[in-house]
Amino acid sequence: MSKTTEFDYIIVGAGSAGCVLANRLSADPANKVLLLETGGSDKSLFIKMPTALSIPMNSSKYAWQFHTQEELFLDNRVMHCPRGKVLGGSSSINGMVWVRGHAKDFDEWESLGAKGWGYQDCLPYFVQAESYFQPNSTHRGAAGPIGVNNGNQMANPLYKAFIHAGVQAGYPTIADYNGEQQEGFSPMQMSVKQGVRSSTAREYLDPIKSRPNLTIQTGALAEKVLFDNKRAKGVRYQLKGRSYEAYSNKEVILSAGAIGSPHLLQLSGIGNSEVLSNAGVETVHHLPGVGQNLQDHLEFYFQYKCKKRITLNGKLGLVSKALIGARWLVNRSGLGATNHFESCAFIRSNEQVEWPDIQYHFLPAAIRYDGKLAFDGHGFQVHVGHNKPKSRGAVTLVSNNPADPPNIQFNYLQHPDDIAGFRACVRLTRQIIEQPAFDEFRDGEIQPGESVNTDEQIDKFVRQHVESAYHPSCSCRMGEDELAVVDSNTKVHGVSGLRVVDSSIFPSIPNGNLNAPTIMVAEKAADAILSRYLPNI
């Protein structure tokens, strides 16, 4: 065991939440902060260049390449679940789509026991985190760390055709779905600043790396939280084959994500005592909700052939990629400076739904996340998913070796309402794409295919083709009941000196991508740790 060191705060995980916490907590020179991260540098061009998003996501160098157990309700498919393993965490490997969620998502959090986490409580922290390129109301931030824009301003006509089709189908068009109204068709926003990915590592960590009271340790795999009785006193971690211990005078904060945080809690003896015993871990505190309530978004690609040669399918050759890359390297502009999701929509699956539960990302290409073409020709697609699932899964420790991944089981589509939601996705999407706005572009359905019409045919297609939208969350949820893991101040129930701050503490999954709400949670939790609060707007 190597020599021990002491800090005020130890943060485990330099991801979407951890980088925010490191910045805010170390702003006071009196706080000595240690930030631990298993991954390394985020300076790769593939991380910085927005169009290259599929590369870091599918690289074991930058992401934990987790996989689920066989998912029974998806015909026993094993699903990919990558999580950031690099400075910036998943904000350095994600699709950069900037969505807060619907206001009622956060009011739902409060109704589920997260006191003080209603939308009006969260809004000031969303505002504080961002620098929106068209600040137009008190709902948007103009001076925050994360840059938010619309890429190439929907230069490709297919983006606007999607919005026009939505209007023709009877839906509203809105200028800003992160403003006062989410429901409708809109330009999509991305976390990109001056043509470069706006990750938490770049915006929160890079400017303050030289602070003498902040220590950033990369290559460090956390083994367990150390306890003195039921008080967290530090962290044991591995670095280059050796074990180290770091001690905290104030608090240990887990920001390892929806997979990593429950796993580390269980490795540390916090969780269901039966699960811990089976894995050879001594129980420090029986907390049965650890790892439970796991949620994620599913989506599939609705793909069409395109009559006009205007899609990104014509930009995938080596010469085209080289030209795109060269332009981006010279002035950070062009197709290299966008994630290509530049229009979107949020609608309801049926009239009884109180707020939107279906999300669309429109892409002027027919292509997979891994870069493989859907067919030989030009096409476009819309990613669609039912975003308020009722199915629940779990992250479960299987070994006391911190290098062994946990079992991950989402139980996707277990609940019949989730199946009904995806049937609505298929039927409503067809109504939208069949509108006159697409007549000059639409040239036949590739996927699901015109033969997929009945409930049985749609269900089979969905089971075989849905993919994770890479939004695992809710596995250490906030609340006050017996299955809650942290309280409304993000403190772990039953012990002291220990918090969890990341997407795992969401009580329920919001209607949208998760990077923005995760950053908001970290901003708000940092103020709670420092006993200060922003006034409601």
Report the distance separating Cα 159 and Cα 343, nearest Å. Answer: 5
Helices H / strands E in the chain, number of each: 13, 25
Q: Catalytic residue at 471?
A: yes
Single-letter amino acid, residue 83: R
Report the distance separating Cα 488 and Cα 507, nearest Å. Answer: 10
- Is the separation of the CB atoms in 504 and 406 below 8 Å? no
Report the distance separating Cα 47 and Cα 198, nearest Å. Answer: 10
| 28 DSSP assignment | S
Report the distance separating Cα 454 and Cα 456, nearest Å. Answer: 5
Q: For residues 453-490, b (16+ Cβ closer than 10 Å) or e, as one string?
A: eeeeebbebbbebbbbbbbbbbbbbbbeeeebbbbbeb
- Is the separation of the CB atoms in 107 and 122 below 8 Å? no
Report the distance separating Cα 362 and Cα 366, nearest Å. Answer: 10
- Locate all alpha helices (DSSP H) within 250-298, ordered by sequence: 257-267, 273-278
Could you list the active site residues? 471
